[in-house]
């Protein structure tokens, strides 16, 4: 019945400030994308072993188009970050690294840029995420241009433009 959990159901992950955005099942795994403060993470879960594993993206990302690959335990998805153009990735069960199926391209080089996540605390105690993007050689304090939005529980996910 709606609202009732089967007796053998059990939670596998708790995302206190986040949500599950997408999920697909493969032959023996469940893959899903979680979002917390606008940043997406990709996970695999094995119901057989009860093991939850985060896939190593290596950058703050927005993940889209999570898709199973045939009858295998692989998925493909696209991901982009603040300094990474959208590329296509493939995750395969048992492999520690993601395979880049189709890299994103850009006419600019961002190897000298670092992305940092920090937080400010509002007067009411709410933590506000702040993403700083700067050249690696910048010493702080330094001049800053800020573009902000924060209302109605809406956050901005990383995107490349």
Instruction: Give pLDDT tens digits for 54-106.
Output: 888 888 899 998 999 989 999 999 999 888 888 899 988 777 677 777 777 77
Instruction: Give pLDDT tens digits for 101-150.
Output: 777 777 777 888 888 888 888 899 988 888 888 888 888 778 777 766 66
**Res 96: pLDDT:** 63
Sequence-distant (≥ 6) Cβ neighbours of residue 42 within 8 angstroms:
31, 32, 33, 54, 55, 57, 63, 66, 77, 91
Distance, in Å, from the CA atom of 32 to the CA atom of 45, rounded to the nearest integer, reads: 8
pLDDT over 70 (residue 5): no
Largest CA distance in the chain: 59
Judging by DSSP bridges, how do beta strands 113-121 and 18-25 pair with one another?
A: unpaired
User: Among candidates 68, 38, 44, which has minimal Cα distance to 56?
Assistant: 44
What letter would DSSP give residue 47? T
Instruction: Give pLDDT tens digits for 8-30.
Output: 555 555 555 567 888 899 999 99
């Amino acid at each position: 019945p709606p609202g009732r959990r089967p007796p053998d159901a059990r939670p596998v992950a708790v995302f206190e400030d986040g949500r599950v955005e997408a999920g697909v099942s493969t032959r023996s795994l469940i893959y899903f994308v979680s979002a917390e403060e606008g940043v997406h993470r990709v996970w695999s879960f094995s119901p057989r072993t009860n093991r939850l594993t985060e896939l190593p993206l290596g950058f703050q990302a927005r993940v889209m188009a999570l898709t199973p690959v045939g009858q295998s335990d692989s998925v493909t998805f696209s991901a982009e970050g603040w300094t990474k153009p959208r590329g296509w990735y493939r995750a395969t069960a048992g492999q520690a690294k993601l395979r880049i199926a189709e890299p994103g391209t850009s006419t600019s080089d961002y190897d000298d840029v670092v992305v940092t996540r920090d937080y400010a605390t509002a007067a009411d105690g709410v933590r506000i995420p702040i993403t700083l993007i700067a050249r690696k050689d910048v010493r702080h304090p330094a001049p800053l241009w800020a573009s902000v939005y924060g209302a109605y529980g809406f956050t901005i996910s990383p995107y490349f433009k």
